[in-house]
Amino acid sequence: MPLTITVDHAPNPAAVDGQALEVRGVRAGSVAADAPGVDQALLAAAGFTAKVAQTVMVAGEGGPVLLVGLGEDVSAAPMRRVGAAIARASSAVAHVAVDVLGLLDSGDRPGAARELTEGLVLASYAFDRYKERSTDISLARATVVAGGGKRVADAIGAALRTAEAVALARDLVNTPGGDLTPRAFADVAKKSADQFGLGCEVLDKKAITREKLGGLLGVNRGSSQEPRLVKLTFEPDKPRGHVALVGKGVTFDSGGLSIKPSASMEWMKTDMAGAAAVLAVMTLVPKVAPKMKVSAYIPLTDNMLGPDATRVGDILTTRNGKTVEVLNTDAEGRLILADALALAVEDGADAIVDVATLTGACMVALGDRTAGLMSNHGELVARIMRTSEEVGEAIWHLPMPEHLRATIDSEVADLRNLSTSPYGGTLSAALFLKEFVGDVAWAHLDIAGPSNSTASYDEVTRGGTGFGVRTLAGLLATWSKLPKA
What are the catalytic residues? 260, 334
Binds Mn ion by CB under 5 A, chosen from 22, 171, 330, 446: 330
Selection from Mn ion, Zn ion, ligand BES, none that 118 binds (CB < 5 to 8 A by kind) is: none
Instruction: Please check whether residue 333 is in contact with residue 423, taking contact to mean a CB–CB distance below 8 angstroms.
Output: no
Out of 22, 34, 115, 253, the only residue in the binding site for Mn ion (CB under 5 A) is: 253
Q: Which of 34, 271, 302, 325 binds Zn ion (CB under 5 A)?
A: 271
Binding positions for ligand BES, 159-178, rule CB under 6 A: none
By the rule CB under 6 A, 245 interacts with ligand BES: no
Residue 448 binds which entry of Zn ion, Mn ion, ligand BES, none, CB below 5-8 Å type-dependent: ligand BES
- Reduced to 3 states (helix: H, G, I; strand: E, B; else coil), residue 473 is helix
Instruction: Return the residue nearest Zn ion (CB atom).
Output: 253
* CB contact burial 139-172 (16+ within 10 A = b; e otherwise): bbbbbbbbbeeebbeebbebbbebbebbbbbbbb
Which partner from the list Mn ion, Zn ion, ligand BES, none does 459 bind, CB cut-off 5 to 8 Å by kind? none
Q: What are phi and psi of 163, to 5 degrees?
A: -65, -35
Angstrom distance (rounded) from CA 32 to CA 208: 66
Sign of the dihedral defined by the CA atoms of residues 74, 75, 76, 77, in that order: negative
Taking CB positions, which residue lies at the least distance from ligand BES? 360
Stretch that binds Zn ion, among 27-35, 329-337, 424-432, 450-458 (CB under 5 A): 329-337
Selection from 50, 54, 163, 48 nearest residue 116 by Cα: 163
Q: Which of 330, 354, 393, 459 binds ligand BES (CB under 6 A)?
A: 330
Nearer to ligand BES, 108 or 314 (CB): 314
Interface segment toward ligand BES; rule CB under 6 A; list 97-105, 142-150, 353-361, 387-395: 353-361
DSSP label at 235?
-
Q: Which of 253, 302, 393, 459 binds ligand BES (CB under 6 A)?
A: 253
Residue 147 lies near ligand BES (rule: CB under 6 A): no
Q: What is the DSSP pairing of strand 415-416 with strand 249-253?
A: unpaired
Pick from 96, 173, 186, 361 the residue near ligand BES by CB under 6 A. Answer: 361
Instruction: Rule CB under 6 A: say whether 277 interacts with ligand BES.
Output: no
Name the 3-class secondary structure at 55. Answer: strand
Q: Does 446 bind Mn ion (CB under 5 A)?
A: no
Among residues 78, 247, 333, 464, which is the contact residue for Zn ion, using CB under 5 A?
333
List, in sequence order, every residue forming a beta bridge with 141; answer none if it has no partner: 8, 95
The three-state secondary structure class of 101 is: helix
Q: Quick one: 267 or 442, whose CB is closer to Zn ion?
A: 267
Candidate segments 122-130, 238-246, 251-259, 440-448, binder of Mn ion by CB under 5 A: 251-259
Element (H, E) at 388: helix 378-391
Helices (H) and strands (E) in the chain, counts: 17, 20
Q: Return the beta strands (E) in 127-241 as ranges.
A: 141-145, 199-203, 228-234
Binding letters toward Zn ion, positions 231-270, x by CB under 5 A: -------------------x--x-----------------
Query: 388-447: which residues touch ligand BES (CB under 6 A)?
Result: 418, 425
* CB of residue 204 to Mn ion, shortest distance in Å: 24
How many residues bind Zn ion (CB under 5 A)? The answer is 4
Q: Which residues 419-438 are close enough to bind Mn ion by CB under 5 A?
A: none
Size of the site for ligand BES (CB under 6 A): 16
* Nearer Cβ to Zn ion (255/424): 255
Q: Is 435 in the site for Zn ion (CB under 5 A)?
A: no
Q: How far is the CB of 58 from ligand BES (least distance, A)?
A: 42
Strand order of the sheet with strand 323-325? 315-317, 323-325, 415-416
Spatial separation of the C-alpha atoms in residues 189 and 314, rounded to whole Å: 32
3-state helix, strand, coil in the chain (%, to 5): 35, 20, 40
Provide, rounded to whole angstroms, the least separation between the CB of residue 253 and ligand BES: 5
The C-alpha angle with vertex 445 and arms to 430 and 431, in degrees rounded to 5, equals: 5
The 3-class SS string of 12-42 reads CHHHHCCCCEEEEEECCCCHHHHCCCCCHHH
DSSP string, 104-132: -SSS-HHHHHHHHHHHHHHHT----TT-S
Q: Which of 231, 200, 484, 198 is nearest to 350 (CA)?
A: 484
Which residues are CB-neighbours of 182 under 8 A, at least 6 positions away? 225, 226, 227, 228, 249, 251, 300, 301, 302
446 binds Zn ion (CB under 5 A): no
Tell me the per-residue interface mask from 57 to 96 with Zn ion, x by CB under 5 A, - otherwise: ----------------------------------------
Which of 282, 279, 159, 181 minimizes the C-alpha distance to 228?
181
Is 448 a residue that touches ligand BES (CB under 6 A)? yes
143 binds, among ligand BES, Zn ion, Mn ion, none (CB under 5 to 8 A by kind): none
Q: Name the DSSP letter for residue 373.
A: E
User: Does residue 325 belong to the site contacting ligand BES (CB under 6 A)?
Assistant: no
Residues that bind Zn ion (CB under 5 A): 250, 253, 271, 333
Binding site for Mn ion (CB under 5 A): 253, 330, 332
Interface ranges with ligand BES (CB under 6 A): 253, 267, 271, 328, 330-333, 357-361, 418, 425, 448
